[in-house]
Amino acid sequence: MGTKVRRSSHAGSWYTDNPKELSDELEGWLQSCGLAKSPDVRGVIAPHAGYSYSGRAAAYAFGNIDPSIITRVFLLGPSHHYYTPKCALSTATVYKTPIGDLPIDLEVIEELKATGKFELMDIRVDEAEHSMEMHLPYLAKIFEGHQVKIVPILVGAVSAENEAMYGQVLAKYVDDPCNFFSVSSDFCHWGSRFNYMHYDKKHGAIYKSIEALDKMGMDIIETGDPNSFKQYLLEYDNTICGRHPISVFLHMLRNSSTKIKIKFLRYEQSSQCKSTRDSSVSYASAAAKVDDSSST
């Protein structure tokens, strides 16, 4: 099989395409969050906006990764432009970034294809989507000098039943400590341009209400219960664009034998909404860590 390249199509717009600048910028953010790397961290939830908006927040997720034993990274990202009720696999063999290329694990792609549950995404769909691409430079940076392969999975508008099904299919990969999971999501998109203006006055300013709503969702994600998360989304309809990847990830953790707990480490908003004319996007970063506590 020949090489099929997915270009870094958002480099030069969503983040710099200058390798030195990009590397220095990521390095700066990773240094300033001052997190200790831990081999117990087996996954992250991180934002996917342009780096000028969410690059700093994302460092609080990626800064936890100890690259020494990880050899494979599963990417779970939502689909912004292409409709599918399924999960779709990349048809590329390599994902390019300005600071190093990430080869696709074709063996695992074949394994997943063989389940008959996945569709394949066209390279144009792949390159138009930014949700996974925005995680790639961080991964290229963290795994510099390490052999790592990636398994990109585009998570479509998946039903609750199918979120559970994909969670079961992917759960076995969680038990291998060489596997890592990078889950892509922004949090609340608030304002008339997003058709979402939930406001609970008891919290004070609009941005405080948005924060309370997001924090409620983050707390529920931390419980690890996909059904409670589903209820929360039904009740508040919070515009968490990676709701499906997050739900699939919660089902994966629930179905694996390794006990893993999600903890949010950073929360930011692109701006503080004070009037209904304002708009903002929220960014939250979490680490999923092996839980050795005796309470299990």
Q: What is the pLDDT of residue 170?
A: 98
Q: Which of 143, 25, 166, 20 is nearest to 84 (CA)?
A: 166
Residue 285, pLDDT score: 97
Distance CA 232, CA 218 (A): 10
Longest dimension (CA), the chain: 59
- Overall pTM surpassing 0.85 (yes/no): yes
Measure CA 166 to chain center.
16
Running along the chain, 296 residues long, what does each successive block of 10 average in pLDDT?
Answer: 81 83 94 91 90 89 95 95 92 92 97 98 85 89 95 96 98 97 94 94 97 97 97 93 96 96 97 96 97 59
What does the pLDDT read at residue 212? 97
pLDDT on residue 49: 73
**In this predicted structure, what is the pLDDT of residue 293?**
65
